[in-house]
Every structure is written in C-alpha cells, then in structure tokens.
Amino acid sequence: MVDQDVGPNAGPPRAHAAILLLSVLVVATCGLIYELLAGTLASYLLGDSVTQFSTVIGCYLFAMGGGSFLSRYVRRDELGAFIRVEIMIAALGGWSAAGLFMAFPLAADFRVLLYALVLAIGALVGLEIPLLIRILQHRFGFRELVSNVLTYDYVGALIASLAFPLLLVPHLGMIRTGMVFGLANVAVAIALLLVLRGTRAVAADLVAAGLVGASLIVGLTMAERIQRWSEIAYYGEGVIHSRTTPYQRIVLTRRGADLRLYLNGNLQFSSRDEYRYHEALVWPVLGRVAHPARVLVLGGGDGLAAREILRDDRVRHVQLVDLDPEMTRMFRDTPQLAALNHHSLSSPRMTVTNADAFRWVRAASGPYDAVIVDFPDPTEYSLGKLYTESFYREVARLLAPDGVMVVQSTSPLVAPRSFWTVATTLEAAGLTTRGYHAYVPSFGEWGYTLAGHGQPALIEAAHLPAGLRFLNAVSEPLMFDFPPDMARRVTPVNRLDNQALVRSFAEEWAKYDG
C-alpha cells in the first residue's frame, strides 16, 4: 500500500522513512505543546490550576485514545490522511491559544469551547502515530519500527516538556508558542507533499497547507494585538495602554473622553469623576493644616492626589512613595496621563520613591505636616498590612504634632464594618479620627478617615481654596454626616496577626455583589 503511494521511483525509500520518522518527533512535540497550552491557559483564565490541568490532560489523553481507535476506519491512503490530519492540527492547535484568549470574554460558556477544542486536537493527535506506524510498516521490521516510533515520540515529549516552561512561555508567550508549533505541523505536511509531488496529486493539499501556514504567520505578527483585543472585549472599552509589571497588570482604557485606569482588573479611577475622589481625599487634610510645608503621599502613583496637593503654594515638598516604578514612570512620561495629573510627578517640589510603603515607613523620618494614605482596597492579606495598627503607629511617628493625615477607607455604604475598622485601628495606634464620605459615581459612596494627634483642628472647619469643582465651604462639612445605614459601629482593631479588615472586607463586598 505504502509502495503504491510512494512508488519505487519517488525517491529513495530510506530517505522517506527518515523524513517520516523525523515527523514523528515533530508531531509528538507539537502534540504535547498543545496539551500544555490548553492546561496552562485554562488555569490562567479559570483559576484552580490543579483541577484545570488534570481535567484538560485527562480529556486530551482520552481523545487521543479515541483518535487511535478511529484510525482503523482509514482503510486506504494513510499517507494522504496523515497529511490532512497534520494540516488540521496545524490550524486548530496553532490557533488554540489565540482563539481561547479571544473567546474567553465573549463565550457564554468558555468551558464547553475549551473542552471541545481539547477533544478535537486530542483526537487528531491520536490519529497521527497509528497512521505513521502503518505507513512505515513496510520499511522496517516490526521490532525496529515500534522501537523507532516510540523513541521519537518520547523524545519529542521530553523536548516539549522542557522547552515549554523554560523557553517558550517566558520568551514567546502562549499565543506565539501555539502559532510556532502550528507552523511546525504545516512544515511536516508541506515537506511530505513536496517529496510526493511526482507520484500523486498534491495541489489541493498544498494550497490548504499554504493557507493555514500563511494564517499562522499573520497571526504571529499580530500576537500582541490579539492579546490587547481580547482585553478590549474584557473591559468593554478601548485599551490604549497595557503593561504587566512584576507587581501588577496595568491597563488604561478610553471611551470618548473618559480615561480609566485598572490595576489587576480593578478600577482605580475614571477621568470623568476622579476630581471628586481626589478633592475629597486631599482638601479636608490640607484645609486643616496651618502650614502644610512637607506632605507625604503613600500610594497614589498616578500623581492625581499630588496634583491637588501641588495646587497649594504653601506646600514646599511632596514625598510620594509608590511600589511600582512602571506606574510612576507611565504617569510621568505618557503625555496624555501627565496632562491629567498636571505633570505633578515631574514637579521640582516632588520626590518620587519606588518602594514598598510597609518597609519604607519603618526606616523613614518625619515630620510631615500632612500625610495622604491612598492604597488599593484591602483585598489581599499583603495589602491588608498597610491598614494595620503597626503601620499606623509608624505613620503617626512621621506625622508632625499638629499634622493631619487621611486614609482612603473603602465604601462605608457597602462595607461599613470595614470602613469603621480603619478608624478603630487608627485610634488603637493613638490617633484621634473623624470619618467622612463622598459620592464618586464610578465608585459609589466612598469613605475616608481623617486622623491626628488629638488636636482640635480635626473638628474645625477647613480653609478651602477657591476654584475647586466639588468642595466648597457648604459642601465640605456635609461629608462628615453619616446617615444610620453608614453610622459608626463597634469593630475589632486590624492587626498584622489577625487581619480583621481583609476578612470583613471580603465578606461585606461578597454579600453586596451577591
């Protein structure tokens, strides 16, 4: 049968055998890569990596078994069947990562799609080796044949399993890895077709292989854009900038005039109403300090709180401490973003330090006349440390005797227990407090806590500059009024070794989100 296909004059049979054996190596490598890609992607997108990996691998192996079984229905022209299988694998496997990425935000049930793809690729890969064995059975003795095929198969698996984590994912990323191995499948198909040129009609298959190969090459060049596009679908608005730093994924989107910043998928501000948030964060403090010459900002790498602070001519020096150098660089050097914060991060009055504030405060020395504490919400135990009694004691040490500080304290409406935990904790650190809240449409009802060393300034009226968009002498005092649904309640102190805040925060928001 094989001799019919290849023919004695189609070239030296040994050379074909070598090409075919080499293709065992390639297809084995590709097969395992697709499996690893599906497993990694599933755990990346769905979480719970152990489950994802084991179910993906299980389905894949099962489908391979199915493919092997189906190979018995290929009655003639194994070589042709093998070549077509290669082309199909190239298309499905090559595009698998890109396809899953793009489908994730759109698909109603991502899992159905994922497992359908895994089953399809697995079944096709399962067809490969039985077909090859049948093609090669006249070239080698049975013993030699099985040994050869299995050797190349396992060597291919080894190559794939080492290269995937060490080389491919770090250097190519998942989307490109899929495409590169899709091209390898295409190459096997094309190489065989070229060798067989004289003996059979190959034109249709060549065209198909060429088309799939071309699509993969185009895909390779567009991998970056595909990744971005998949995020566009996720955020529902245009992604104009995105970057993965060692600390977080920073995504900036724009719809019309509205710029939005997301850190790890959580909204940080919308340019439409951030002035409300930042005026309410900064001015109740600055308006209550007689001489705010030195101001400390902890967090706030977007430079927006700093913008408000620098409007005050009494301020001589702002020290800003933010974890992520990428974040502060982006908001200093991207024209659009620097325009939003009025170039606060490159002001001569500004010093930016990139450090973990939890460590920085322990080594720093004050005094600061005003301290603005603007950290992400305590969604994680690590972030929760920035809301503890120990941390506030260090900040209190840095705060001048008549200084005032403010802490962004999540929503008193959604999470009243968490909101008041911040006040309880500041008080445990020896400070007096006063909570207030403001309405910021993109966040909802938002809360802040003023704190100081017991000076009367906290309860006095603030001196506000003219020209603010949100606060004036009438609206500012209203923020300190808490209706019953947000009223103060008894809460524990948030300590490093109990992380009461992280726990209540998770509970209250989960209840609110349903």
Partner 1 sequence: MTAEVSRRAVLAGGAALGLAACSPATAAPYPGALLGADVRRGHRLRDAKGQSAFPPPSGAEERIPLVIAGGGVAGLAAGWRLAEAGFGDFALLELENEAGGNARGGGNAVTQFPWGAHYLPVPNREARGLIHMLRGFGMITGEDASGAPIYDPYHLCADLEERLLWRGTWQEGLYPASGLGAADIAQHDRFNAAMEHFRAAVGTDGRPAFASPSALSSRDPAFAALDGQSFAAWLDAQGFTSGPLRAHLRYCCRDDYGTEPDGVSAWAGIHYFAGRRGWAAGGAGQSELTWPEGNARLARLIAARLHPQIRPSHSVVRVVRDGDDVVIDTLDHLAGTIRRIRAGAVILAIPDFVARHVAPDFVGHAGFSYAPWVVANVAVSRQPWGAGVPLAWDNVSAGSETLGYVVATHQTQSAPDGPSVLTWYNALSVGDPAVQRRMMLRRSLGEWQKIIAADLLTMNPELDGAIERIDVWRWGHAMVQPVPGFRADPARVVARAGQGAGPVFRAHSDLSGLSLFEEAHYLGLAAAEGALRHLGRPVESLL
| Separation CA 147–CA 17 (nearest Å) | 14
Interaction of residue 178 with partner 1, rule CB under 8 A: no
**Using CB under 8 A, which of the segments 133-141, 280-288, 354-362, 419-427 binds partner 1?**
354-362
- Residues 419-478 close enough to bind partner 1 by CB under 8 A: none
If we measure between CA atoms, which residue out of 188, 189, 178 comes closest to residue 216?
178
Angstrom CA distances, 514 to 16, 68, 485, 511, stand at 63, 47, 18, 5
Long-range contacts of 148-151 (CB under 8 A, 24+ apart): 148/21, 148/24, 149/21, 149/24
CB 306 within 8 A of CB 328: no
Interaction of residue 170 with partner 1, rule CB under 8 A: yes
Q: Which of 330, 386, 399, 479 binds partner 1 (CB under 8 A)?
A: 386
Q: Which of 291, 382, 456, 511 binds partner 1 (CB under 8 A)?
A: 382
If we measure between CA atoms, which residue out of 474, 335, 491 comes closest to residue 425?
491
Q: Which of 243, 311, 397, 495 binds partner 1 (CB under 8 A)?
A: 495
Instruction: Choose between 187 and 493: whose C-beta lies nearer to partner 1.
Output: 493
Closest separation in Å from C-beta 187 to partner 1: 26
The pattern of x and - marking residues 16 through 55 that bind partner 1 according to CB under 8 A reads -----------------------xx--xx--xxxxx-x--
Instruction: Choose between 140 and 247: whose C-beta lies nearer to partner 1.
Output: 247
- Exposure string of 412-424, with b = 16+ CB inside 10 Å and e = fewer, is bbbbbbbbbbbbb
How many residues sit close enough to partner 1 to count as binding (CB under 8 A)? 41
Active site residue 313: no
From edge to edge, which strands make up the β-sheet containing 249-255?
Answer: 238-244, 249-255, 258-263, 266-270
Contacts of 238 (CB under 8 A, 6+ apart): 232, 253, 254, 255
Instruction: Mark out the alpha helices in 197-271 (DSSP H runs).
Output: 203-221, 223-235
Q: Which of 313, 481, 485, 497 binds partner 1 (CB under 8 A)?
A: 497
- Residues 107-166 close enough to bind partner 1 by CB under 8 A: 162, 165-166
**Using CB under 8 A, which of the segments 141-149, 193-201, 308-316, 375-383 binds partner 1?**
375-383
Q: Which of 234, 247, 439, 509 binds partner 1 (CB under 8 A)?
A: 247
Closest separation in Å from C-beta 179 to partner 1: 18
Token couple for 355:
């450090």
Instruction: Choose between 39 and 80: whose C-beta lies nearer to partner 1.
Output: 39
Interaction of residue 496 with partner 1, rule CB under 8 A: yes
Q: Which of 5, 77, 326, 380 binds partner 1 (CB under 8 A)?
A: 380
Token couple for 456:
């009367």
Instruction: Choose between 247 and 439: whose C-beta lies nearer to partner 1.
Output: 247
Token couple for 92:
């499905």
Where does residue 260 rank: exposed (0-12), middle (13-18), buried (19+ CB within 10 A)? buried
| Separation CA 238–CA 255 (nearest Å) | 6
Closest separation in Å from C-beta 482 to partner 1: 29
* Angle at the Cα of 30 from the Cα atoms of 230 and 71, rounded to 5 degrees: 115
Closest separation in Å from C-beta 41 to partner 1: 12
DSSP track, 51-94 = HHHHHHHHHHHHHHHHHHHHGGG--S-HHHHHHHHHHHHHHHHH
- Residues 312-351 close enough to bind partner 1 by CB under 8 A: 323
CB 152 within 8 A of CB 52: no
Closest separation in Å from C-beta 424 to partner 1: 14
| Separation CA 325–CA 358 (nearest Å) | 16
| Separation CA 271–CA 238 (nearest Å) | 14
Token couple for 380:
């994680």
**Using CB under 8 A, which of the segments 110-118, 182-190, 246-254, 281-289 binds partner 1?**
246-254
CB 79 within 8 A of CB 2: yes
Interaction of residue 418 with partner 1, rule CB under 8 A: no
- Residues 261-300 close enough to bind partner 1 by CB under 8 A: 264
Instruction: Choose between 153 and 389: whose C-beta lies nearer to partner 1.
Output: 389
Token couple for 233:
């679908």
Closest separation in Å from C-beta 200 to partner 1: 41
Instruction: Choose between 312 and 326: whose C-beta lies nearer to partner 1.
Output: 326
Per annotation, catalytic residue among 153, 374, 402, 481: 374
My answer on whether omega of the bond before 12 falls inside 30° of 0, hence cis, is: no
3-state secondary structure of 258: strand
Interaction of residue 246 with partner 1, rule CB under 8 A: yes
Closest separation in Å from C-beta 96 to partner 1: 17
Q: Which of 45, 57, 169, 206 binds partner 1 (CB under 8 A)?
A: 169
**Using CB under 8 A, which of the segments 24-32, 191-199, 309-317, 381-389 binds partner 1?**
381-389
3-state secondary structure of 262: strand
Q: Which of 121, 192, 357, 486 binds partner 1 (CB under 8 A)?
A: 357
Q: Give the binding site for partner 1 (CB under 8 A).
A: 39-40, 43-44, 47-51, 53, 162, 165-166, 169-170, 246-248, 264, 323, 356-359, 379-386, 388-390, 495-499, 502
List active site positions: 374
